[in-house]
Amino acid sequence: MTYEIQSIFTDANHTNYLAERIILLASPFLHESAGCILMLLKWLKPRTFLQGRHPWVVSAGLAVALSTLGNAPFWWALSQLPEINSLRAYAGLIGIWAALTLLMWVFVNVVIWPWWRKPAGVVLLVMSMTASYFMAMYGVVIDPTMVSNAMQTNATEVRDLLSLTWLLTMVIGVGVPGLWWWRLEPMAGVGWQRWTHQLGAVMLGSVLTTALLLLVFQDLASLMRNHTNLRYLVNPLNTIYAIGRLATSKQAQRQQPLQTIGDDASARLPDAKAAPVLVLVVGETARAANFGIAGYTRDTTPQMQALQNEGNLYYFSQVQSCGTNTEISLPCLFSHQDRKANANRTVNYESLLDVLYKAGWAVLWLDNQSGCKGVCDRVAHVDTSRLKHPYLCTAGECWDEIMLDGLPERLALLTPERRARGTVLVMHQMGSHGPAYYKRSPPDHKKFLPECTSNALSSCDAQALMNAYDNSIAYTDHFLGQVVAWLKSQPQPTALWYVSDHGESLGENGIYLHGMPYKMAPKDQTHVPMALWLSPTMRQRWALDDACLRTQQGKPWSHDNWFHTMLGSADVKTGLYQPEMDITHACRH
Ligand SMILES: [Zn+2]
């Protein structure tokens, strides 16, 4: 069912592709057309459409712009549904359009008052056009997690997302109606007249909207029931709803004090030379489907396969992520609670790292991405993404190998008594972060060419897009190989756990990127790679049953297992530990 809607975007993307081509072809004439537009605006100035009209008419103009132009992806999705095949269905569509326009009219009259009329109208246009652009270009929907994602985005990520098509969308969708709105002076009312104008519009609009909704109720109800994701497409109500939901849940969470967990944690004290080193690599946007070691047709993971051939690497082939974006997955991965509990969580808890720290381990978090989302707040952490390095860093960001640069010096800064017990080192990768996948592998690591170098993914050749993504996976494989090479050179027992935070859509059914609501997310966004590498001395320390662990590889696991598996791997005792959730428990003796 969800795929029906998703496939619609394939065609929407073709439209975008065409639009971008047309602009490229037209670019020599852009200068001239800019002159024409200026002339047109001069001509429009004295006779701006709806100038001096009744405020109802003026607000209705904005409502039409919002319900029509600002909801293009919604109308496109609706018009492509299989149910829309009869005269009655088309009449129903017109009814829905009228109801939505009236609803927008009410909404505009509720939020826009004379004192902030001009900027508020432009803000509404910006909101709905931005949401429309991302929905049409990447097949995403706007829900609370998507908005949370957008709010935590950094400048590099924004730069990665913008493109020529975005500029054009803003010019047409915000520039033109925005200018009209700004110049418009509606008929001025005096004193109480303003109030009656707006309150009257709200009342009349509400009555008419209700009447219309009742009229089209049957058709609308069945459409919404069969295609639940339609409601995430209604603009800008989806964004406002999402911001509201997010603000209330954030507010509820802020009011809660931080809850401690695992205060009873303790760890076995090894002899000083055998203090284990555990490296946890948290991948970014790596999906299992593109891992050679998982059966992908391309050899994207030669290093992992070589380690597997040596007999020291285990690949877990059926792992589900906790969320479809970093904001959800990362805290969930390090949480003692499972996915469902995390989704409804209003309480702030400490993380796995706090428990390991309480057990006496040295803990260090290296971040080559947009931060640890609160997981590493109370342990040592270093942001490596803005470092300067002659070849590992360019254009304000660094390749993941930067996290290995100067590593012994960083580890030497951790408390010696803790290091004598054991060290947990987390490396949070930039990985395959999109949509600029081509930026995620250094020039000398490009195995698959040509690469898509546009951020407007839908305008890229599908193979070139896959090439760029596969290069980022191959670079992650290289990075993991480097981490293992370093671990092999250490005298202590060492192990590496690797897992990705979530997957990615690469144009399947017209969907790009990630962040779909979990229930309707395609498998590409939730099926993630996970692997374990062990040194021979760690194998001894665990008294590992190799055959047993091999049978664990194909079982269905998820991020829910991570917390307990890491406690088990670190040999930490606490009442929180659930052995049946630990992937390796049954195989360690
Ligand atoms: Zn992520």
- Looking up residue 497, the CATH number of its domain turns out to be 3.40.720.10
Residue 42 lies in a domain: no
- The domain tally of the chain equals 2
Residue 283 CA to ligand 1 centre (angstroms): 8
Same domain assignment for residues 72 and 198: yes
Same domain assignment for residues 205 and 286: no
The sign of the torsion formed by the CA atoms of 185, 188, 191, 192 equals negative
Domain boundary among 203, 232, 249: 249
Residue 503 CA to ligand 1 centre (angstroms): 8
Predicted pLDDT at 582: 97
Residue 420 lies in a domain: yes
- Containing 506, the helix (H) or strand (E) segment is strand 505-506
Same domain assignment for residues 284 and 206: no
Residue 300 CA to ligand 1 centre (angstroms): 20
Q: Closest Cα partner for 442 from 416, 480, 478? A: 478
Residue 559 CA to ligand 1 centre (angstroms): 13
Residue 369 CA to ligand 1 centre (angstroms): 9
User: What letters, b where the CB count within 10 A reaches 16 and e where it falls short, cover 186-206?
Assistant: beeeeeeeeeebbeebbeebb
Same domain assignment for residues 420 and 566: yes
Coil, strand, or helix at residue 323?
coil
Predicted pLDDT at 30: 52
Predicted pLDDT at 48: 67
Predicted pLDDT at 294: 97
From residue 223, how far is each of 37, 90, 141 by CA, in Å? 41, 13, 17
> Which token pair is 451?
């690469």
> Which token pair is 257?
């004090």
Residue 506 CA to ligand 1 centre (angstroms): 15
Same domain assignment for residues 365 and 511: yes
Residue 515 CA to ligand 1 centre (angstroms): 9
Predicted pLDDT at 455: 79
Residue 325 CA to ligand 1 centre (angstroms): 5
Type of residue numbered 397? E
Same domain assignment for residues 187 and 330: no
Residue 139 CA to ligand 1 centre (angstroms): 17
Residue 407 CA to ligand 1 centre (angstroms): 24
Same domain assignment for residues 186 and 329: no
Same domain assignment for residues 337 and 404: yes
Predicted pLDDT at 148: 75
Residue 482 CA to ligand 1 centre (angstroms): 22
Residue 2 CA to ligand 1 centre (angstroms): 23
Same domain assignment for residues 216 and 354: no
Residue 22 CA to ligand 1 centre (angstroms): 33
Residue 218 lies in a domain: yes
Predicted pLDDT at 18: 45
Residue 46 lies in a domain: no
DSSP state of 314: E
Residue 286 CA to ligand 1 centre (angstroms): 9
Predicted pLDDT at 474: 98
Same domain assignment for residues 131 and 216: yes
pLDDT digits (tens, 9 = 90+) for 391-424: 899 888 899 999 999 999 999 999 999 999 999 9
Residues of the chain predicted below pLDDT 50: 1-19, 21-23, 26, 29
State the Cα torsion 375-378-383-384 to the nearest 10°.
-90
Same domain assignment for residues 293 and 206: no
Same domain assignment for residues 175 and 286: no
Residue 523 CA to ligand 1 centre (angstroms): 15
Residue 39 lies in a domain: no
Q: What is the pTM of this model?
A: 0.78
Q: How large is the angle between the packed helices 144-151 and 237-255, nearest 10 degrees?
A: 70
Domain enclosing residue 450, as ranges? 276-587
